[in-house]
Amino acid sequence: NAGVTQTPKFRILKIGQSMTLQCTQDMNHNYMYWYRQDPGMGLKLIYYSVGAGITDKGEVPNGYNVSRSTTEDFPLRLELAAPSQTSVYFCASSSRDRWKQGYTFGSGTRLTVV
Amino acid sequence: TQLLEQSPQFLSIQEGENLTVYCNSSSVFSSLQWYRQEPGEGPVLLVTVVTGGEVKKLKRLTFQFGDARKDSSLHITAAQPGDTGLYLCAGDTSGSRLTFGEGTQLTVNP
């Protein structure tokens, strides 16, 4: 199993540019999440989804958008990149038994906005 | 917003030493998880604790969930360089998502 796959692994954006971070999972998980991790910090939730067609804001949603048209995919969109969005972004997924099996994370996308 | 506080934030020890990492909150959690993250990778689940007072062992790692389900600890016996990483605790309040602590960066020197 591939688990959770994120692309790209690295990206440099100029201020004001847009991009989509891709995330796909092959475990048929209902729940999917986007986190950002700044240096020396924990994970902050940007958006999450409990199933196809359903998304909700997390702690730090400003400047981001998401969609969930299929169970497998949960892309994160940055419309107008700002230096404050320089971070490592992690996508994760879980089943309804997340209390037992936890989250499965991708390997991250390192984004630099200059 | 529930807050999970981890301590210490940084820990550097010699191989063979023992250590304990703490995770505390004012909120009650239905379950609590511990993850380890290595550089350039996403966090990987180590264990889930569910019952107040529960103790789980994973080789040299011992995890405990507080009786009131508000805190947890991770104890490592005879630490090895391979234990180096960022240790994250995460609490579940029966909502749709976990709340993560800020993490403890552990370095084990040979």
DSSP A7-70: E-SEEEE-TT--EEEEEEESS--SEEEEEEE-TT--EEEEEEEEETTEEEE-S--TTEEE--SS
Residue B110 reports pLDDT greater than 70: yes
Residue B34 reports pLDDT greater than 70: yes
* 3-state SS class at B90: strand
Compare CB distances from B96 to A31, A35, A41 and report the shortest one's residue: A31
Instruction: Give B2's contacts in chain A (Cβ within 8 Å).
Output: none
Instruction: Give B100's contacts in chain A (Cβ within 8 Å).
Output: 35, 42-43
CB contact under 8 A, A42 and B41: no
Residue B2 reports pLDDT greater than 70: no
Instruction: Out of A90-99, B14-23, B46-55, B94-103, pick the least confident.
Output: B94-103
Mean pLDDT of A84-107: 89
What is the least distance, in Å, from the CA of A33 to any CA of chain B?
8
d(CA B2, CA B101): 10
Compare CB distances from A59 to B1, B6, B43 and report the shortest one's residue: B1
CB contact under 8 A, B42 and A99: no
Q: Report cis status (omega within 30 of 0) of the bond before A61.
A: no
Q: Does B39 touch chain A (CB under 8 A)?
A: no
Residue B43 reports pLDDT greater than 60: yes
Residues 6+ apart with CB under 8 A from A67: A55, A74, A75, A77
- Residue B16 Rama label (left phi>0; alpha psi -120 to 50; beta): left
d(CA B37, CA A55): 26
* 3-state SS class at B92: strand
Residue B28 reports pLDDT greater than 60: yes
Helix or strand run (H / E) with residue A98: helix A98-101
d(CA A9, CA B2): 31
Compare CB distances from A100 to B9, B48, B88 and report the shortest one's residue: B48
Instruction: Report yes or no: B107 and A61 within 8 Å, Cβ to Cβ.
Output: no
Q: Does B92 touch chain A (CB under 8 A)?
A: yes
Q: Does B66 touch chain A (CB under 8 A)?
A: no
Mean pLDDT of B58-73: 95
* 3-state SS class at B80: coil
List the structure tokens of B42.
């996403």
Residue B33 reports pLDDT greater than 80: yes
Nearest Cα residue to A89 out of A53, A64, A54, A69: A64
